[in-house]
Structure 1
Amino acid sequence: MLSSLLIESSVDLSFKQLLVCVITSIIFGLLVASVHMYRNVYSKNFVITLAVLPVLVQLVIMLVNGNLGTGVAVLGAFSLIRFRSVAGGAREITSIFWSMGIGLATGMGFVGYIVLFSITIAFFLLILNTIHFGEKQKVAEREIKITIPEDLDYPDLFDDLFQHYTYAASLDSVKTTNMGSLYELRYRVTLKDNRKEKELMDAIRVRNGNLTIIFGKVSTNREEL
């Protein structure tokens, strides 16, 4: 079942064998795209690429199968390709490798192999995303910018507040503003309770003389919703 369809006919490929490999690539390319769209943020162009990629990879593998010279030439051609968009997240990389694996397997004729493993991978990914496996607890990371007068000694100024309201807090940067008469402190904190964000802000306002305080989300790579 898992043996190659092309192992005995690597030179003279029948139309039936070619058709089976192409249809398999198309079907499982659509499967990869569908699984990638499940509870995920995606673009139309990316999921179309995932659906088409197995057929394209299959074409290349069938052309270079058993021909060292052609393989080297194709390798040089692929080395010219660069991804010019922003780096994708872990789920995007997983889907790309899955699509390429389907194309590699069908290009070598291992149709039964890729049918078995693609169904297994699809079922596994759907289960993990359905049960929210690995999802973080509902704690919020915040970036806090606090303005204080120059006469305040800032290193331990808010430690007791952060100990009470946050799991972790770190001072990322300090800079002077307003011709050196004010300091701007930038902290990164993990709140214990999102509902007490205003309470923490009010407590900080008492310490910094009611000067400007900015709470913002920490910039991170978005991988999923």
Structure 2
Amino acid sequence: MEILNGFIINDEVRSILFSMCMGLIAGCGIAAGYVLANKGKKFSKNFAVTVLLLPVIMAMIIPFIATDLRKTLSLAGVFALVRFRSIPGDSKDILYTFFAAAAGLIIGLGSYFVGFVMVLVVSLAYVLIIRLWKVEDKQVLKITIPEDMNYKDVFEDLFEKYLKKWAVKNVKTSNMGTLFTISYWVQPKNEMDAKAFIDDLRTRNGNLNIILENPDDQLAPVL
């Protein structure tokens, strides 16, 4: 009979199920805000699913631990472990993960109005900031050259032709010191022909490796 009592739908269970439904609705709004903010850009679908379901999970477990300090500390330890095991990602994605968790926590505590107002305000602010705040189209250019080549001015005329701004990020050796890899922060000119740019660079560096990438491509999803 004690086992069957765990399957009885009482007022507490109904409240938790209702909170889970509210968490799902909030998660849909949070995920929609993330997708809308990054519309036309490269973004992680896995991250969108994460912020969609995170409020549901939080809304479900909060009622079980809200009155027990030991369980609360255990949950904090789980989140710390997940964060420690995660590869560092984009700071705005880390913020958005915290936002999704906070929304689920508030809804799990029964403050539905406050939770949905938070979802609406923060999601709207996130979309507006990401869509309207124009940032420099900064990319990373990596050029491999022989050790006997003086890289200081060898690409200067090509940079002036194709780029608005550039700066050396770092220089490192490879292949037992016989090659150098120079990394630059670059801002391409409008409608720059990337293929023509790379082809011109290849004529200078002896057809060795050249990589042109966005900084965000180097970052893995937070979760």
TM-score by structure 1 length?
0.65
Percentage identity across paired residues of the two chains: 16
Corresponding residue to 1:43 among 42, 45, 51: 45
What residue is the counterpart of 1:144 in the other structure?
A: 143
Structure 1: stretches of 5+ with no match in the other structure:
1-11
Q: Which moved more, 1:55-64 or 1:183-192?
A: 183-192
Query: How much does 1:25 deviate?
Result: 1.4
Query: How much does 1:54 deviate?
Result: 1.4
State the distance in 2 between where 1:126 and 1:75 align.
29
Corresponding residue to 1:216 among 211, 219, 222: 211
The within-5 A match list for 1:114-125 is 114-125=115-126
- Is contact 2:143-2:210 (8 Å) kept? yes
The 1:113–1:192 alpha-carbon spacing in structure 2 relative to 1, beyond 3 Å, is closer
What residue is the counterpart of 1:161 in the other structure?
A: 157
Q: Does 1:173 align with 2:168?
A: no
What residue is the counterpart of 1:23 in the other structure?
A: 21
Q: Return the letter of the residue paired with 1:121.
A: V
State the distance in 2 between where 1:203 and 1:82 align.
41
> Secondary structure at 2:215's aligned position in 1?
coil
Q: Which moved more, 1:79-88 or 1:18-27?
A: 79-88
Structure 2: stretches of 5+ with no match in the other structure:
1-9
Deviations 1:66-101 (A, max 9, x none): 333443444455555466554432343233212211
Deviations 1:166-214 (A, max 9, x none): 533438436587x99x764635252553349847965884xx6x83354
What root-mean-square deviation, in Å, do the aligned CA atoms of Structure 1 and Structure 2 show? 4.0
Q: Does 1:190 align with 2:183?
A: no
What residue is the counterpart of 1:135 in the other structure?
A: 135
Q: Which has the higher helix share?
A: 2
The 1:214–1:35 alpha-carbon spacing in structure 2 relative to 1, beyond 3 Å, is same
The 1:220–1:108 alpha-carbon spacing in structure 2 relative to 1, beyond 3 Å, is same
- Is contact 1:161-1:203 (8 Å) kept? no
Query: How much does 1:52 deviate?
Result: 2.4
Count of paired positions:
201
Query: How much does 1:102 deviate?
Result: 1.4
Q: Return the letter of the residue paired with 1:135.
A: V
Q: Return the letter of the residue paired with 1:212.
A: N
Structure number with greater Rg is 1
Corresponding residue to 1:33 among 31, 34, 49: 31
- Is contact 2:140-2:214 (8 Å) kept? no
